[in-house]
Structure 1
Amino acid sequence: MIPAAIKQRWSKWLDKRIPANKQITLSHKSIFILPSGFGVAWFVLIVVLYLFGTNYQNNLVIGLSLLLASVFHSCIIYSYKNLAGLTLTALTPPETYANQNLAFPIVLSSKINKDNSQTSHQQICLNLPNERHSRITDVAEGVDTSVSCTAQSRGLVNPGRIRVSSSFPLGLFNTWSYVDLNIQHIIYAAPLATHVSLTSLDNDNQTEFEHGKLQPGVDDYKGLKTFVEGESLKQVAWKQWAQGRGMLTKEFAQPEGKPVWLSLDGTLGDSLEQKLSKLAWQVNALSQSQQVFGLALNQQIIEQDSGESHRKQCQQMIALYGSVAKPAITTEPRVTPESTSAFTDKHPVGNRK
């Protein structure tokens, strides 16, 4: 068992030696190499044969020991070259909920191949600590792979350093590196099926499910759709047409009824995690129905909106609720003092259902 102090010093040294980056190319500064168990046995055999040959003045045995020594030395070079120049690039992980298998996609490529087409990286293994490894037999021009782990709970996940290893070509040496691809991923709360509980900003505590549903209008931009002959040319997305994306029409929508809210206090549950799981399910259900809704988690407010971007904003806020770490979210939730005060004025903490 390695003491925690040694692990901490080792981690700090790695952070300086191999800094975190979205793309890392392995070099002499980031590659470690040591003999394997088979390599140690090979070296012992060389020593025994050499001593036997010199003791009995047997040139054939001495020559055999020197031949094995040259193979041993050559494997050091080829083992290093098998990892040197290997480039690892992190991609955006797919949307993942708690208790699901989380895969971090990685692209392996080689810059050496541009200068020497005969050089490739073979028998490469990647794995996270205490997780199963992914094996790539040959990295010629570029290979898509992934390292996986189980997302136990919601929140921000940083998988840490990925171990890249190989024992190519003869298994005499183990070469490896620990790379941090600076992966920050948000695990959404596991959805728990429930009924949709919506709260209006008016005096009505519960509104109908259809409140906030979108209907065709001119208020808010909704997206693009295929152009239909006879539609007004004023609505044509000329910018997209110039980009070669075809004839598209801008589509607008407006809420059909009163705006509605999903709130933590208005959600029934035995625990905080159960409430958040129910909210996560309701967010997906309302987004699938293209309904306008807002989300209120105590003092954290996201204004009423709809669409895929709004769904992700809500899921991210649910996933990070109560956590200390605050990552840089791609699209910031539109949280305004006006929306916060409007909700709290209409719904005092003691009167929420």
Structure 2
Amino acid sequence: MAARKGLLGGTPRLVRRAASRRPAGGAGGVVLLDRRHLYILPTPGGVGFAVVLAAMLMTSLNYNISLGFALTFMLAGIGMSCMWLAYRNLLDLAVAAGPVAAVHAGQDATFHVRVDSRGDDARIGIEARVPAMPEVAAATLTLDANASGMLALRVPAPRRGRLELPRVTIASRFPFGLFQVWSHADLELSTVVYPAPEPGAPPPPPAHRPDHGDGAHAAASAARSEGGIDQLRRYRSGDPLHRIAWKHSARTGRWLSRAGDPPGQPARWLDWHALPAGMEPEARLSRLCAWLLAAGDEVEIGLRLPGMELAPARGASHRRACLEALAMWPQRPGPVRAAQHA
């Protein structure tokens, strides 16, 4: 019984040793599944196949059946070929982190794992799963020779903050499921989980017209461009490139952006302290998130949180910066270790 358990699931020492080793990451975070980091064991079906072969061999020996010997050795050869094909199906695969998009709490974050085939053979039935999260469904992929593809793992994101992808297991049972080959990959892949927007949130606070008493702002607003009078202001983080006044910035030595709106364009502040005093912190973040998503681009949006303030601006990059601030509060948002696709 102990021997059979070792065949099916591996001894505890073997499992711990395999789990503690992983392929070394190369340039660009690429993990190469080489010969030293591939593991193979028979599946329950493979163990049953071996038992049947042993019974056929004993029967052929007892009754001296020549055709029985031929059939037994032929099936044994097929089994050995399956072991080699299963091993070669993962050999020298290159695994790397793919894109991942930010999500809201309560949704599933889709982590993409890129797999590159560096050989002249097709790779069939490649499987990726997350052992630390049994609830995550496995993703499968089949690649042609010298091709690449993506494995999509949908990981639940129950709360806001930073969500990292745990160790990923790449496995295969090709061709007949008699053997399982696997390896591990630790990919530096993470995303930001925004707060869940409050359903049925009340209307956002009204916009207020900014104070134009700043002398620098008034001087910039009086500048002229080739097409006529442009309202200029100091550059703010998140301003799109097409709004930057390149000539005026080079002339004055300061970064200036075209407002493109008449003077006195209102700005809307989303203020933590303006919310009802009895609201819990997570409820405040959810309401601010709902207001931020509903604001659109009609007015500039500013965000005030305890210990943090983002000046009014507009655009997708500014909205993303505000959402990341809500997601990471009370910490400050940091870089995400993956390319984000909104």
TM-score, normalised via structure 2 length: 0.72
Partner AA of 1:28 in structure 2: R
Of 128-137 and 41-50, the range deviating more from structure 2: 128-137
Residues 280-330 of structure 1: CA distance to partner in whole angstroms, max 9, x if unpaired?
A: 12223345334142x23212333443332222222112111246x974358
User: Does residue 1:177 correspond to 2:183, yes or no?
Assistant: yes
Per-residue deviation, 1:68:
1.6
Counterpart contact for 1:98–1:188, Cα < 8 Å: yes
* 1:217 maps to which of 231, 239, 244: 231
**Quick check: 2:24–2:32 contact (8 Å CA) kept in 1?**
no
2:37 corresponding residue in structure 1: 30
Contact 1:212 1:291 in 2 (8 A): no
Letter in 2 for 1:133: A
Tell me which residue corresponds to 1:98.
105
Does the 8 Å CA contact 1:82/1:122 hold for their aligned counterparts? yes
Inter-partner Cα distance in structure 1 for 2:161 and 2:71:
60
Q: Which residue in the other structure is 2:204 paired with?
A: 196
Are the aligned partners of 1:101 and 1:149 in contact in 2 as well (CA < 8 Å)? Answer: yes
Structure 2 match to 1:305: 313
* Residue ranges of structure 2 left out of the alignment (5+ in a row): 1-10, 212-220, 222-229, 249-255, 338-342
Classify 1:61/1:233 alpha carbon distance in 2 versus 1 (closer, same or farther; 3 Å). Answer: closer
- 8 Å contact kept, 1:287–1:308: no
Match of 2:300 among 284, 291, 294: 291
| DSSP 3-state at the match of 2:288 | helix
Query: Which residue pairs with 2:129 in the alignment?
Result: 127
Deviation at 1:211, TM superposition (A): 3.1
Provide closer, same or farther for how the CA distance between residues 176 and 29 of structure 1 changes in structure 2, counting only shifts above 3 A.
same
Aligned to 2:58: 51
Instruction: Indicate the residue corresponding to 1:242 in structure 2.
Output: none
CA distance in 1, matches of 2:264, 2:15: 59
User: Residue 17 of structure 1: CA displacement?
Assistant: 2.8
- The 5 Å alignment of 1:260-279 reads 261-268=269-276, 270-279=279-288
Written as runs of structure 1 = structure 2, the 5 A alignment for 1:240-255 is 252-253=258-259
- The one of the two structures with greater contact order (alpha-carbon pairs below 8 A, sep at least 6) is 2
Quote the Cα distance in structure 2 between the aligned partners of 1:212 and 1:33.
67
| Structure 1: gaps (5+ residues) | 1-5, 198-207, 227-231, 236-249, 331-353
Deviation at 1:163, TM superposition (A): 2.5
Match of 2:291 in 1: 282
Q: Give the distance between the partners of 2:209 and 2:20, measured in 1 at CA.
A: 52
Q: Residue 143 of structure 2: which of 132, 138, 141 is its match?
A: 138
Counterpart of 2:7 in structure 1 is none
Equivalent position to 1:17, from 18, 22, 35: 22
**Matched residues, number:** 290
In structure 2, how many angstroms separate the alpha carbons of the residues matched to 1:306 and 1:142? 38
In 1: Cα distance, 2:308 partner to 2:233 partner: 26
Normalised by the size of structure 1, how large is the TM-score?
0.70
Partner Cα distance (1:154, 1:34) in 2 = 39
| Distance verdict in 2 for CA 1:10–1:327, change over 3 Å | farther
Structure 2 CA distance for partners of 1:12 and 1:318, relative to 1, 3 Å: farther
Name the Cα RMSD after superposition.
3.6
**Structure 2 residue aligned with 1:83:** 90
> Match of 1:159?
165
Q: Secondary structure of 2:106's match?
A: coil
| Matches of 2:78 and 2:49, distance apart in 1 | 10
d(CA) in 2 for partners of 1:64, 1:319: 64
- Cα distance in 2 for partners of 1:134, 1:286 equals 37
